[in-house]
Amino acid sequence: EAMSKTYGRLEWPDLFQAGIQLAKQGFVLDEETAMMIEHAFKDFPDQAKAIYGKNGRPLRKGERLFQEDLADSLRLISEEGAKALYGGSLGKAIDREMKRSGGFLSLEDLVNNKAEWWEPIHITYRDCEVYTASPPSTAFPSLLRLGIMNQFDVRRLGHNSPEFLHRFIEVTKHVFWCRLRYAGDPEVSPPPLDYLLSEKYWKEQASKIDLHKAKPFVYPGLKESDSQQTTHFVVADSWGNIVSATQTLGNLFGSRIMPEGTGIWLNNSLSYCTFEPKGNPMDAHPGRRKLSGDCPTIIVHNGKPWAALGTPGGHTIGQTVPQMVMNLIDFGLDVQEALASPRVSFIEPDTIAVEEAIGKDIIKKLKTLGHKLRLVKRPGGLGNAHALLIEYDKDGQPLRFRGASDPRGHGLALGY
């Protein structure tokens, strides 16, 4: 609501009509979504089983999912605005469910919640400016990876060559360490971005990479959990305004708690907290902001937004995004190729996930360099990105939009 009031032009109720219609009329489940429901169904509360099930069993591929309660909740927000949740009937339903399930989130917490604006952070990469979310998002490692890779002649190394991938893997392991070491609430323990995003630091770290051998990952803190229920979308209008947004429910169906009558799942970001031993940057503390692992990204070229992209994928997000950025800027791939191209990702404690499409010869070479690999096959893969590019005419006005949806998922690129 705060974004709509500040930047929006459409009437508030109109924003919800398509969502209400889809929730009410339902949609046919694909195989992947049906498998997710089947996996989590036993943990659903009764009211959710009635929505996501039929005759006491989970809905199956080809059956239609109707969400009448969710349609009613969206209609309520369209009529009453944010107050429907922050103090209104939806908030009261959450408050009741929290009391019933032993949670501590209260109606007072919801009433006191306020939207916050944060300036984005950015670096210069080649002839572009790459922008992403600032802390409390932990998106800064994406820029750090690009900064260190900027010290190499990436084009000469070749797209997804063993030489390129070895450097990126070694860089991404170090940056993963930085995320665990430095991520924090910007008003309590802010990461030292002036230092981490400096040319001096990038050159220093690039010089430490052994070009002929993989180094083991030295662990500074605690393991992070993966995220399985994250969505990313990008939108542009005819004037060239861009939104790049990442939204997460946490793990599969979040906390699997649904306040009765709402159709709304509550997330479970607290599952990434460990508290003992101390030092996990994802721990939540009273009066502090909870960190998030999203990395929505906008690339500016010649002073104008040129590309917007992002992906779900938990701890792989900040590794997938820079690979797509390099695909676009360094290797000149079109937007669909940039998303579809095979990826790698560091997985704790010391494994590299490699999509099988990288190729047998390259995988063999990476193994000889000492990398411990885990092959990832499609369907699925690393991430499920969406992206768009904007072309401009000679007067600097948007001329053409090109969108792309990751073949690893079931997304959509659509103009209307």
What pLDDT digit, counting tens, does each position of 12-48 carry? 999 999 999 999 999 999 998 999 999 999 999 999 9
Which pLDDT band, with edges at 50, 70 and 90, does 88 fall under?
Answer: very high
Residue type for position 274: T
pLDDT at position 283 over 80: no
Lowest mean pLDDT segment, chosen from 77-86, 274-283, 339-348, 388-397? 274-283
Task: Give residue 223's pLDDT.
Answer: 46
Task: Give residue 183's pLDDT.
Answer: 86
Which pLDDT band, with edges at 50, 70 and 90, does 225 fall under?
Answer: very low
Task: Give residue 294's pLDDT.
Answer: 85
Please tell me the pTM assigned to this model: 0.88
pLDDT at position 221 over 60: no
pLDDT at position 219 over 90: no
pLDDT at position 351 over 80: yes
Q: Give the pair of three-digit tokens for residue 345.
A: 């990702």
pLDDT at position 238 over 90: no
Average pLDDT over residues 119-145: 95
Looking up tokens 């399930």, which residue turns up? 101
Query: Which of 320, 219, 256 lies closest to 52 in space, CA to CA?
Result: 256
Residue type for position 121: I
Task: Give residue 174's pLDDT.
Answer: 94
Which contacts (CB < 8 Å, 24+ apart) does range 284-292 have? 288/185, 288/188, 289/136, 289/185, 289/186, 289/187, 290/136, 291/135, 291/136, 291/137, 291/138, 291/183, 291/184, 291/185, 292/136, 292/137, 292/138, 292/248
Sign of CA pseudo-dihedral 144, 148, 151, 152: negative
DSSP annotation string for 52-80: HEETTEE--TTSEE--HHHHHHHHHHHHH
Which pLDDT band, with edges at 50, 70 and 90, does 291 fall under?
Answer: confident
Lowest mean pLDDT segment, chosen from 43-47, 70-74, 353-357, 405-409? 405-409
Average pLDDT over residues 356-375: 95
Mean pLDDT computed over every residue of the chain: 91
pLDDT at position 312 over 90: no
- Annotated catalytic sites, by residue? 230
Which pLDDT band, with edges at 50, 70 and 90, does 252 fall under?
Answer: confident
pLDDT at position 379 over 80: no
